[in-house]
Structure 1
C-alpha cells in the first residue's frame, strides 16, 4: 500500500474511532456490549481483514502499516479492536503461517469479510504463557482425529464460528513437540462454550472456556494437512510474534489517549485558583507519560519494520510487547493520579482505561515470559547453565 493510500485508511479509521466509537465507550463498559452499528461499520471498512493479504479479500497491510493502524484503534476501548483483532491476528495467522492453499482460499476470505469470527484456542488451565504444557489430546479416529480437553480465557469464544485448536497428537513427545493445530467449527458435536468470563475490565470483549468432549474432525481440518501434524507449536509461536507487535501498538494507542485525557484535565482542573497545569509536580507526571509514549511508538515502529524484512522475528516482538504493555500501565497510573479523586470514579475515562490496561501485561505472553524470551535469545545456551 502506498503512502497516500495508507494515510487515507488511517484518516478514515481515526475519524471512525473518535466520532463513532469514543461516544459509546461508557455505554460499552456498562452493558458489556459493542453496538451492532459499530460492528457493522467495522465490517464495511474492512477492519476484519486488514492484515489478511489482498488475494484473500483483505487489505494486506504490512506489519509496519498495521502498527500505525492499531495506534488509531488503541485510542478507544479495547473491545473495538478485539472484535476483529483475532481474525487479523493470532487466529487468522494460523492459516497464513501453516495452512494449505486450499484452507487459505476456503477460510481467509470469510475471516476478512467478518462473515466468520475465529478464535485462537491455545491457553489451558495448566498451560498459559508456556503452551508446552498442553494437555488437550487429539487421537487418530479412522482417517480423522478425536479431540478431548479444555481451553481457558479464549477471546471471542462466545461468538466465534471457528476455533483454531492446539492439541497434543503425540503423547510420547514432551514439551513443545507433538502438538498439532486444528480448525474446528463451532457446531462440531462435543464442542461447548462456557458462559462468558466476568473480567476486571475490557468489557465488550468477551472470553470464555471451551470444552472438547470427543470432538471428531476430518483430516481436512488439520492445519497444513498431513504435513502439519506435529507442527502446531512452531505455528503458534510465529502467530504470537506477530500478535505481540500488534498488542504493543494497541498499548501505544491507549497511551496516546491517556496523555490527551491527562493534558486536557490539567488545563481545566483548578486548585487554589489556578489550573493544576501550573504545578511543576503535575508537569512532571505529564512529561514522564509523554516520554513513555514517544519511546513506545518509536520502539513498535522499529520492531515492526524489522519484522517485515525478516531480520528480527523473536526478540523485537518480545521487547515491544514487554515495554509497551508495562509502559501503558505506568501512563494509566499517572493519569489516575493527575485526576486525583475523580480518577478513581467509574464515570471517568482514565479509571476505565486503568482497568483495561492491566490485561496487556498478561495475554499474548506475560511480561515475565517476554523477559525469558529476550534473555534466552540474547544470552544463548548459557542460560541453562
Structure 2
C-alpha cells in the first residue's frame, strides 16, 4: 500500500501537472491566496474526498493552511489545520533525519554494515558476502523486498470489534488483531532472518546490495530499528525528542495514545465508508500522526536545512541528507513513468525529475504529499482523509493539485 499513490495515478496526471505551462501572469500575493482558497472550497463540495488540508510553506513560515470538507461526516466536524491523521510514507523522511542525527551524535555511520547494530542476521542470500549498509536501506537499494507478506503482517486494528473492519475485509485488506501483532524487532527478525518464521529467499532481490533501487517499507523499518539499536532509545522516543519536540510539533505523535485522539479525522474508504482505527507494527515507515500546522513547521525546517540554515542538524548533516545518491540506470523502467519522488533519492528524501524535493504517501483512508521547489523556495502539503479512486482522482485530486500549482506558478 505504501507510496502507491504515484505508482497508481501518476501516469494519469503527473506529466501534465509538472510540464504544462499554465501561462499565469504575476499576481498580487493576497489575491492569489484568495483564488487558491476559493478553488479548494469549490472542489471540496464534490464530496468524493471527504476532507483534506492544504498548506503553502516557505523556509520561514506557513503562508497558508486550511482544511476543507469534513473530518467526521456523521458528526458534522469540519477538517481544519488542527485535524490529525497519519501521513503514510512521508513519515520515512523522519527516519532520514534520525539517521543523520545519530551520525552527528557519533552513534553510527551511514556506511556501516547494518549487522554491526542488529541482534539477528540480515543477509541477502543471493549475495551472502556483500554487507547491507545503512545508506543502502536509506536509498531503497538494500535488496529487501516487501512482498505480499508485508501488508499481511504490518497493519492491525486497534479494536477488533470496530464495525469499520467489515469495510476492510470487503476490500480484501488483511489487518491483524491487536492480540496477534508483533513488536517491530520481532517483525523484522521473522521477515528477514533465516531463523524467522516468515523468512523466504524471495524476501530479497537477486541484486547486489547498493546496486538497484527497489522501494522497501521493510527496509525503511529496518533502518529505524538500526537507529534504536545504535542509540539505545526506542525510535518513537528518539524522534519525539530530537524532531517533534525540537520543532514544537506538540500535536504530533506515533500512536493514538500519544495524541489528542478527539482531533483525529475519521478515515474513509474510496466509496466513502468509515474505516476502523488502525496502526502499523512497522510504524516508522508510515505511522506518523500529525496536522497541517505541525506538518508545515516540519516542511519549513526541511527547507531551511536544504539552504543550510536548519536547526535539527548541522549544515553538513543536511547536505548529506539531500545528496542525490542514485543514478538513472539504477531505476527500473516501469511504463516510462519518471514523474514521481522515486526518480532519485537522498537519505529517505525523494527527488522528482523536475527538481521537486519531498515525499508522498498513501495508506487505507489517507493520501499525503509534501514537496518543495528549491528554486522557488516554496513548498506545499496536501493531506486527504479518503482513499482515492479513479473517479476521485479525476474529479478532485487533480483539480486540487492544479489549484496548488496555479498558485505556485503565479509566484514565479
* TM-score, normalised via structure 1 length: 0.29
Q: Mark the structure with the bigger radius of gyration.
A: 1
The higher relative CO (CA closer than 8 Å, separation ≥ 6) is in 2
**Higher helix fraction: Structure 1 or Structure 2?**
1
* TM-score, normalised via structure 2 length: 0.28
